[in-house]
Amino acid sequence: MPMKITYATMSTDNEEMNRAYEDALESVKPRLGQDHGVAVDGTHRKDRDFFEEVSPIDSGIIVGRYAQAVTQDVDDAVSAARAFAPEWEAWGWERRRDLMLAAADHMDGQLFELAALMSYEIGKNRLESLGDVAETVEFLRYYAGQITEHEGFITPLSSHGPNDANTSVLRPFGVWGVISPFNFPMALAGGPSTGALITGNTVVIKPSNQGALMALEFHRVMLEAGLPKEALHVITGGDEIGDYLAHHPKVDGLTFTGSYPVGMYLYRTVNETRPKPVVCEMGGKNPVVVTSSADLDVATQGIVRGAFGLSGQKCSATSRVYVEEEVYDELIDKLVEAAGSVAVGNPLEQNTFMGPVIDDAAVERFQKAVDEVKNSGGEVLAGGVVLTEGEMAKGSYVAPTVVSAPLDSWVWKEELFVPFVAVTKVKSLEEGIALSNDTDFGLTAGLFSGDETEIDTWFKEIQAGVTYVNRAAGATTGAWPDINPFGGWKGSGTSGTGGGGPWYLRQFLREQSRTLIKN
């Protein structure tokens, strides 16, 4: 494929890519609407209650029915993973690395089919879906490169004399739990799982019921590539079964991606009986500052892509915009025009930029935020309506929305996960930074400025883990392995390391200091 797909890809103007994707949309239809069992130790247990997942594009499309795990399924998966963990570690890092590289090639060969399934399941447009699968492939390859670069994290140390040999060896914890969300259903199930697996841990994934198909597809691809069935299990089910997995006494580490309240609950409670790593990547309320020196066309494009990509359902979505008053009116005019020009509709179609939100609950959350703006004395500048025209009546569609609101309104504080961005004027960059930092979150942030001193000041003072300046491809969105490590500060993350970055694998490992005295 001549065109490399990432979240920064700006155009669908690629005939070969479009033809391959559209062929895949047809070829995967027989894979929709199937019953899927809980994947434990290579078996698929279907004698359970089922959750029926419908597509947000059209509620008449059944994506799949997923067996809802019981606690015995979790116990069995964790027991199988624990029993196999010593053998998996004994494989050695080179053999595990080679398997991950083989899995990357295998997944890459199914890129379009997996992306098509994801579009049906989540309502992502083609570039977003292709990017999600391509990012998962890149995680496999990047982490393989990282473990090679660090030579398996085995480091010779100094000695007291010629008769002692000392080594630092980073070793896996054992069984790792991964709780993944709906919005990046392949990358956020596959990325942490790859990090855990390549470092020698065995893994149990609990995906969201909305997005479970892609976690099961990741499991399928990995086993087809040669991963032993005991090394990876997928527990489908609701919040209660995720809670049970997270607190299971024989789970040795946990990665959670989701909301701040749930993440903080897990962070506080999982370690009650014994210390274990709990890596929580939580939400964001991601700010952008636009100064009077900015290129306003670039700023407009970056804000629109950041706020409305994936219908605002990214934890990195652009949510708050602080504009120096000299250029406020001009930027508002440009944002309103651009929001009105966003192509909203069926994400399976080539020219659609923004598809549906995930479900009716998201539509209700959107309407609640719009009502809050009106009731608080703010103004809806663009959008603000639920879309029910034509085919959109079958799904969950809302308009890309730009608002102004008083700074004491909760729309400035709460993560919304809908295509909704609030804009206000500020007197200076310093005021914009202060307001940007006035939040419990610290995931992503953006700046648009043409002044090097402003840029340097902003980088030094902004409190966020992922930062972008003058990025038209997404003011606060679009992280990619080995390019933009993704991890939050403050209430957005607990590990201090970003996924897809050079320090990520370290959190799946614990140090063993080895001293050998030679006779």
Which residues are catalytically annotated? Answer: 281, 315
One-letter amino acid of 233: H
d(CA 411, CA 158): 56
Q: Which residues pair with 45 in a beta bridge?
A: 38
E strand or H helix at 513? strand 509-517
CA atoms within 13 A on the CB side of 242: 23
Helices 15-27 and 111-122: angle between axes, nearest 10 degrees: 70
d(CA 321, CA 244): 39
Residue whose token pair is 């029993």: 83
One-letter amino acid of 341: S
Residue whose token pair is 């959190």: 507
388: alpha, beta or left? (left if phi > 0; alpha if psi -120 to 50): alpha
CB 192 within 8 A of CB 497: no
CB 277 within 8 A of CB 173: yes
Range 83-100 burial, b when 16+ CB lie within 10 A, else e: ebbeebbeeebeebbebb
One-letter amino acid of 318: T
Q: Which residues pair with 290 in a beta bridge?
A: 323, 448
Token pair recorded at residue 12: 């669908």
Q: Which of 207, 214, 267, 206 is nearest to 78 (CA)?
A: 206
Range 406-416 burial, b when 16+ CB lie within 10 A, else e: eeebebbebbb
Q: Which of 258, 286, 219, 241 is nearest to 493 (CA)?
A: 258
**By three-state DSSP, how is residue 287 classified?**
strand
Task: Report CA 237 to chain centroid distance, whole Å.
Answer: 19
Q: What is the DSSP letter of 5?
A: P
Residue whose token pair is 């709780």: 179
Residue 157: CB atoms within 10 A of its CB come to 12
One-letter amino acid of 175: V
